[in-house]
Amino acid sequence: MKSAEMLIEKPDLGTKIAPAAHDRSQRKIVVRSHTPVIYYYPSIVMALFCGLMVPTDGSGVWAGLFLTTFFANTVVVLFDFNSLRTLFLGLVAAVLGLLIWHFGLGWLISQSLSLLHVRMNSHAFFTFAGFFGFLILCDFVWAHLNRWEFSANEVKHVQTFAGHSTNYPGRALNFRVLTTDVFERLILGAGTMVLLIGKKQVRLQNVILAHHKVKELEKFVRSTGVFADDADVFGDDGDDGDE
């Protein structure tokens, strides 16, 4: 009877282990780097909204609302705002606002703005949305063709246009994420991933949901058993706006 029980248990044990090992060997995580154009999606959304709401002959009010969004969006794209810099600029803006209110200069600013007569119709809004939407689409296509793949035993840089891929050993991998811009993280949860593969350092900028992607990589590396639990492969998150 005991030998019969052992014969029954062994097949059950084998069927439980084999699929897990098979799934682990097939699993991979893909990381894609993007250009700064992806941060213009708030302006695209505002342009579509204004294009649907604006009167047929155009409107200065909707044009002003859109341009304010677009200008603020452009400042976020062009400059890096780390935590310290954002706090400093916030204090400067608060001081300037108090000075304008104290000296009663609000009317002068309002009068100056009233001299501007900017009007945009729906065609202008939709043209802007279509142009930047096309740029973002091209960016996602390029990011799909130029990507990094992480598997249990190797790191692969796939370059479809170049027609080749570069493989690196998985055990030599060390990675971390940098929060270089507060607003970019608020818009898309984006950040810069720094990969250390042996002596080679690679910076993947504008990775969407970078912190979530790093947590996936940490969990994946732990589950595959390539690294021990005490292996120093996970760098600390930092606010590194000066790099």
Q: Are residues 137 and 189 in the same domain?
A: no
**pLDDT score for 123:** 92
Whole-number Å distance between alpha carbons of 40 and 233 = 34
User: Could you tell me if residue 148 is inside a domain?
Assistant: no
Lowest mean pLDDT among 51-60, 87-96, 164-173, 222-231: 222-231
Q: Is residue 107 part of a domain?
A: yes
Q: What is the DSSP letter of 226?
A: S
Q: Are residues 49 and 134 in the same domain?
A: yes
Q: In this model, does residue 129 exceed pLDDT 60?
A: yes
Least confident window among 22-36, 61-75, 148-162: 22-36
Res. 26: pLDDT tops 50: no
* Domain limit, last residue, from 123, 141, 159: 141
CA neighbor of 63 nearest in space, from 125, 115, 123: 125
Report yes or no on 100 lying in a domain.
yes
> How many Å from the N-terminal Cα to the C-terminal Cα in the chain?
70
* Distance set, CA 90 to CA 79, 150, 210 (Å): 15, 40, 26
Helix spans in the chain (H):
2-26, 41-53, 60-78, 83-102, 106-114, 122-145, 182-188, 210-224
113-118 LR contacts (CB < 8 Å, sep 24+): 117/60, 118/60, 118/63, 118/64, 118/67
202, 137: one domain: no
**Whether residues 135 and 195 fall in one domain:** no
Domain membership of residue 124 (yes or no) is yes
Tell me which of 37-46, 114-123, 129-138 is least confident.
Answer: 114-123
CB 34 within 8 A of CB 144: no
Both 176 and 136 in one domain: the answer is no
Query: In terms of domains, do 43 and 130 share one?
Result: yes
| Nearest CA-CA partner of 191 in 211, 174, 219 | 211
In a domain, 27, yes or no: no
Mean pLDDT, residues 54-61: 81
Residue 57 included in any domain: yes
Instruction: Please tell me whether residues 107 and 175 are part of one structural domain.
Output: no
Same domain as 122, residue 82: yes
Chain centre distance of CA 206: 5
For residues 93 and 175, membership in a common domain is answered with no
Say how far residue 119 (Cα) sits from the centre of its chain: 33
Within a domain: 198: yes
- Residue 188 has a pLDDT of 85
**Quick one: 44 and 108 in the same domain?**
yes
Is the per-residue pLDDT at 243 higher than 60?
no
Looking at residue 39, its pLDDT comes to 92
Looking at per-residue confidence, does 167 or 50 come out higher? 50
Q: What percentage of the chain exceeds 90 in pLDDT?
A: 22
Domain match, 52 and 131 both: yes
45 or 231: which leads in pLDDT = 45
Query: Contact 76/180 with Cβ under 8 angstroms?
Result: no
- Of residues 138 and 193, the one with the higher pLDDT is 138
Q: Per residue in 144-201, pLDDT tens?
A: 999 988 887 788 888 887 777 888 877 767 778 877 677 778 888 888 888 887 778 8
Q: What is the mean pLDDT of the chain?
A: 76
**Same domain, residue pair 136 and 174:** no
In a domain? residue 78: yes
What is the domain extent for residue 113?
Answer: 39-141
Q: How many domains does the chain have?
A: 2
DSSP 36: G
Q: Tokens at residue 243, please?
A: 């790099």
* Burial class of 8 by CB neighbour count within 10 A (0 to 12, 13 to 18, 19+): exposed
